[in-house]
Amino acid sequence: MCSHLSIRDRWRIISLRSDQGMASDEIASRINCSIRTAYYILQLFRETNDVIEREGRGRRLLNESFFQMLQSVYLELMIEVMISRRLS
């Protein structure tokens, strides 16, 4: 079993299904991947018309309350800097 399919192998999976009508288990044997992987690539192609997963948007690194706290700290710091410049 390979750990990661190349783009070429992914397109071979699509070709073997659409051009030769092979079943997922036959494709998996030919490509040297799991049946589940072959099925996943076929499903991905049906849903997106592509064999490459879209990159996710990821999760937010900061939640809203933490972001607001950082903003207020930054504003307080800027006010202190402005006051100290006026006093000097």
Each residue's pLDDT tens digit, 19-45: 999 999 999 999 999 999 999 999 999
Q: In this model, does residue 2 exceed pLDDT 60?
A: no
Q: Which residues contact 47 (CB under 8 A, 6 or more apart)?
A: none
Distance CA 84, CA 88 (A): 6
Domain boundaries, the chain: 7-48
User: Which helix (H) or strand (E) covers residue 84, if one does?
Assistant: helix 64-87
Q: Which residue has the higher pLDDT, 71 or 54?
A: 71
In angstroms, rounded to a whole number, what is the distance separating the alpha carbons of residues 37 and 72? Answer: 49
Q: What is the pLDDT of residue 84?
A: 86
Model confidence at 1, in pLDDT bands (50, 70, 90)?
very low
28 is written with which tokens?
A: 């998996």
